[in-house]
Chain A
């Protein structure tokens, strides 16, 4: 069983290294390029939130862990020790409004939700833990949950 783990400072200049190292591991584990792209987007959005808000200007670190469960599901956890912040509690942005009414911001978490099959937040001790689950082999737009529902 292969695991991935990387810890780096929570600053935007490390974004590329976080994404590149995680992507290498995902590729080695056989995740399809298209799905790697989706994970990259979800992880970037989560990281940028942490870089901007978690440590409120003070230095801090981010850890990314990766693992595979049930032979098929990639579990990616993003951990920070910043202020408690439940990404999953944010309201949905309005994605139907026109140019004039469109607000800048608020899209990141919406994109995360659309890129992964499951998204779970928990506060563990003094850390925020955001868990993303991506199935290795299913249809492009079907999540593992939908699969279960369809079979029931």
Chain B
């Protein structure tokens, strides 16, 4: 999996590419921990180029959201589609997070 981090005025955008499996999830955890350490509190995760996610990936995202909730921050998701969207729907994760069709919409919501 590749993680592209882009800092915008309103939030940080993490764009994920490839497969977020049990091997890749710790990489997400490290990047997220770096962002938290830098004081970032609003994080948009963009799934436009992510083709696969397993429970390890879901748990990493949930763990980040729980940490941010404790510090009045938030996680927003964009571009969820296909099999990745299906996993979010089945697991009920679609109910936990604000979800926008496009990354620009997520940014505009802040």
Using a CB–CB cutoff of 8 Å, the interface residues on chain A facing chain B are: 12-13, 15-16, 19, 34, 37-38, 40-41, 44-45, 48, 94-100, 102, 104-105, 107-108, 110-111, 114
Query: What are 20 contact pairs spanning A and B, CB under 8 A?
Result: A12-B22, A16-B23, A19-B21, A34-B83, A40-B52, A41-B52, A44-B21, A44-B22, A48-B55, A48-B56, A95-B91, A95-B92, A99-B96, A100-B69, A102-B96, A105-B59, A107-B91, A111-B55, A111-B90, A114-B90
Q: What total of A-B pairs shows CB separation below 8 Å?
A: 66
Please report the C-alpha to C-alpha distance between residue A110 and residue B91 in the assembled complex, in whole angstroms. Answer: 8
Using a CB–CB cutoff of 8 Å, the interface residues on chain B facing chain A are: 21-23, 52, 54-56, 58-59, 62-63, 65-66, 69, 83, 87, 90-92, 95-97
Q: Determine the residue in chain B with the shortest Cβ distance to A47.
A: B22
- Which of chain A's residues have a CB closer than 8 A to the CB of B23? 12-13, 15-16
Please report the C-alpha to C-alpha distance between residue A88 and residue B65 in the assembled complex, in whole angstroms. Answer: 29
